[in-house]
Chain A
Amino acid sequence: MPSLSKKAYYDYPDLALAGNFNLVNTEELFAKLGIEPGPFQKQSDLAAMMEIVHKHLVDADEASPAKPDIKNVLKEVIPQFDGGFTVGGVTGDGVGFVFRDPHGIRPCYYYVDDDVIVAASERAAIRTTFNVGENEVKELMPGNALIVHEDGSFEIEAVVGPKERKACSFERIYFSRGSDEKIYKERKALGFNLSEQVLNAIDFDLKNTIFSYIPNTAEVAFLGLQKGMQMYLNKIKTERILSWGKDYDEEKLEEMISRRIRVGKIAIKDVKMRTFITEDASRNEMVQHVYDITYGTVRPGIDTIVIIDDSIVRGTTLKQSIIKMLARLQPKKILILSSAPQIRYPDCYGIDMSKMGDFIAFNAAVEILKDRGQENLLHELWQQCKDLKAQNLLHTENLVQKIYKSSTSTEIANKIAEMITPKDLGLPVQVIFQSIEDLHKACPNNLGDWYFTGNYPTPGGNRVVNQAFMNYMEGKNERGY
């Protein structure tokens, strides 16, 4: 096995590191250390983190061989990282530590009792594993480190001054498991918050609308949406019954109170079909069958299908599979809901969404510019990016935000609907997204929203988005970091 270190016989402290993170200044870190990263290290930001933590650990060890001060090491090292991170480490001296980025982008929780000290990315995982209560598991706050000394004592220490909290909202929308007490409620709120837009889109015609979700993670948001619909229906029932005065009998009352929201399990996630023949027609046929439908759930030509997903990134599965499949049921209309807002910008803090051309919202905004004969803006911005890059100022401003300036959110949603509707479908498709305000209301502790707004919490973010845009314009299919 290869060692990460070439200086195999030099006596320095042992260290193991692992994390949930992404750094956007890896090159800078290597340059600082005077290391020319090899082909392996270049691809790994953990390798850069490893080198820098280790270097400081060696210095601390030389300064105080008996007991190197890990706290100081972390305080020196962590402020140098630009990114989102939760990292765990253990040293050969028997010291353990876990630290979290100053914006709290990546999640981290911990639990302590007489027998054990635990840290993990998700609270519910700790609760289940150790059978403990919600409040017994604590959040490791942004910029803090949990340090466990050799003797088993521990401390929580601020290792980098906390900055504005920008915990990743995608953790709540989709990534973390929905079994978490708070995440479950937040996902339901996301679905609930779409209620008003949905009622308007179906013209309040609940009788001829059937609700469903795209499995499996959108199921919880669906429950919230269902609650919103039920509340509206209950309000209508009460109004009607009150308007009757004394003019009703048992049958009439029973008919009214037994009215329900129509829900069904319409879409089914199927096994991934193998595309054993690569010719396009065969491939398209197989791709379509990633999802299946339940037959007989929809009255052809009468019912509108409302179906909720947690987010729409590329939109390809919707176009190639889900919408085609749903259309087989011959609904009057298909309404797709996204419990996340429009994904318009790349993430660079640990989620693999890095290429502009992958985002259907971006492609829609570009299409709108083209429709209006304004595609020149793209070239102007590209030139501005090049100028900034030449001055090493790419991190100062997110220029991609200007591409969205001239379109409303609804215009982009409608364009997305157009783009994901297969030709000759023969029925209308509408797409509705969560608004950013409603996202924040639903997930008040996770206000990190750069993939929706372009407001990156660290300067590296602007550099990444501008670089991603330049890659797009240059036809390069690679990450912006």
Chain B
Amino acid sequence: MSDAIKHECGLAFIRLRKSFSHYLKEYGTVMWGLNKLYLLMEKQHNRGQDGAGIAAIKLNVEPGHPFMHRIRSAQPQAIGALFQNIAEEVNELTKYNPEIVNHPGLMKGHVKFLGELLLGHLRYGTQGKNNAEFCHPFLKRHTMTTPTWR
């Protein structure tokens, strides 16, 4: 392709149907779903390299605890940047509690993006300005009292 044409985006949607302990047992990690999301997004990187975003929903969360999280980036290598961010949170957590990775419930409570419902997006900056604010997913939430997003 000599004339680069830009394209509006790619989508990655994942719903884990079992509890996190299942993925730990079957695949050796509670991070299985997030790893798959990363792969699914990178394997579609041709569909957008100007930005990326992820939203995660945790199911059956105690009232008052945050259950919806989102992260977006318009940096170069945006997909990598998002997952780097998630990895840092996990690394920070496991630094002093290496055993925590074997406790799905604790992991779910501590790792923001360890949700059962995952929505990923890749973006080419064709519409609107090219900054993170224009990256999907967009959110509408009912309260600002639990500021859970970055």
Name the distance in Å between A14's Cβ and chain B's nearest Cβ: 4
Asked, given contacts A11-B143, A125-B40, whether A350 binds B8 with beta carbons under 8 Å apart, the answer is yes
Stretch at the interface among B88-96, B103-111, B118-126: B118-126
Chain B 9-50 interface residues, beta-carbon cutoff 8 Å to A: 9-18, 22-23, 26, 33, 36, 39-40, 43-44, 46-47
Separation of A50 and B141 alpha carbons in the complex (Å)? 11
Q: Residues of A contacting B121 with CB < 8 Å?
A: 18-19, 88
Partner pick for A122 among B8, B17, B47, CB 8 A cutoff: B47
With contacts A3-B144, A313-B5, A316-B3 known, is A119 near B11, CB below 8 A? Answer: yes
14 other contacts beyond A18-B120, A43-B127, A114-B18, with CB at 8 A cut-off? Answer: A5-B140, A12-B142, A18-B138, A21-B9, A46-B136, A87-B11, A90-B117, A94-B59, A130-B36, A174-B1, A217-B1, A309-B1, A317-B2, A318-B3
Q: Tell me if A426 counts as interface (CB < 8 A to partner B).
A: no
Chain B min CB distance to A346 (Å) = 12
Question: Could you tell me if A117 and B138 are in contact, using CB atoms closer than 8 angstroms?
Answer: no
Chain A, range 114-133, C-beta contacts under 8 Å to B: 114-122, 124-126, 128-130
Residues of B within 8 A of A311 (CB): 1, 3, 5
Over the window 1-17 of chain A, the binary record of Cβ atoms lying under 8 Å from chain B Cβ atoms (1 yes, 0 no) is: 11111001111111111
Closest chain A CB from B42 CB (angstroms):
9
Known interface pairs A43-B134, A310-B1, A316-B3. Does A352 touch B124 (Cβ–Cβ under 8 Å)?
yes
* Chain A residues near B126 (CB-CB < 8 A): 352
Is A218 a contact of B1 with CB atoms below 8 Å? yes
Please pick, from A19, A170, A214, A353, the residue contacting B11 in the complex, using a CB distance under 8 A.
A19
- Shortest B85–chain A CB gap in Å is 15
* A16 close to B44 (CB less than 8 A): no
Contact with B along A81-120 (1 / 0, CB 8 A): 0000011111110101010000000001000001111111
- Do residues B43 and A92 form an inter-chain contact, with CB atoms below 8 A? no
Taking the closest CB of chain B, its distance from the CB of A53, in whole angstroms, is 9
List chain B residues, Cβ under 8 A from A300: none
In the complex, the chain A residue whose C-beta lies closest to that of B58 is A94
| Minimal beta-carbon separation of A7 from chain B (angstroms) | 9
**Is residue A198 contacting chain B, with contact meaning CB distance below 8 A?**
no
- A selection of 21 A-B contacts at a CB cut-off of 8 Å is A3-B141, A11-B143, A14-B142, A15-B141, A17-B137, A18-B136, A21-B9, A43-B127, A46-B136, A87-B11, A92-B142, A115-B23, A119-B11, A120-B12, A170-B5, A216-B1, A313-B3, A316-B3, A351-B6, A352-B6, A352-B7
Complex: A4 Cα to B136 Cα, angstroms:
12
| Neighbouring A residues of B22 by C-beta, 8 Å | 115
Chain A contacts to B: CB under 8 angstroms? 1-5, 8-22, 40, 43-47, 50, 54, 86-92, 94, 96, 98, 108, 114-122, 124-126, 128-130, 148, 150, 152, 154, 170, 174-177, 214, 216-218, 291, 309-318, 321-322, 350-353
Q: How far is the CA of A208 from the CA of B39 in the complex (A)?
A: 46
Cβ-closest chain A residue relative to B70? A16
By beta carbon, the residue of chain A nearest B18 is A115
Q: B17 → chain A, closest Cβ, in Å?
A: 4
Give the distance in Å from the alpha carbon of A124 to the alpha carbon of B42 in the complex: 12
**Which of the residues B10, B39, B143 comes within 8 Å of A20, measured between beta carbons?**
B10
Q: How far is the CB of B2 from chain A (nearest CB, A)?
A: 4
A19 x B9 contact (CB < 8 A): yes
Docked pose: A87 CA to B138 CA in angstroms? 12
**Contact, CB under 8 Å: B11 / A120:** yes
Contact B139 A14 (CB under 8 A): yes
Q: Tell me if A1 and B5 are in contact (CB < 8 A).
A: no
Q: A40-B133, A116-B16, A351-B5 are in contact. Are A22 and B127 (CB under 8 A)?
A: yes
**Is B129 a contact partner of A98 (Cβ separation < 8 A)?**
no
| B64 interface hit (Cβ, 8 Å) | no
Q: A125-B40, A311-B3 are in contact. Are A86 and B11 (CB under 8 A)?
A: yes
In the bound complex, residues from chain B placing their C-beta under 8 Å from that of A54 are: 140
B38 shortest CB reach to chain A, Å: 9
Pick from B2, B26, B116, B141: contact of A309, CB below 8 A. Answer: B2
Q: Contacts A124-B43, A128-B39, A350-B9: A8 and B59 contacting too (C-beta < 8 A)?
A: no
Give the complex CA separation of A386 and B23 in angstroms: 61
A218 partner residues in chain B, CB cutoff 8 A = 1
User: Which residues of B have CB within 8 Å of A14?
Assistant: 68, 139-142
Q: Complex: how many Å from CA A19 to CA B43? A: 17
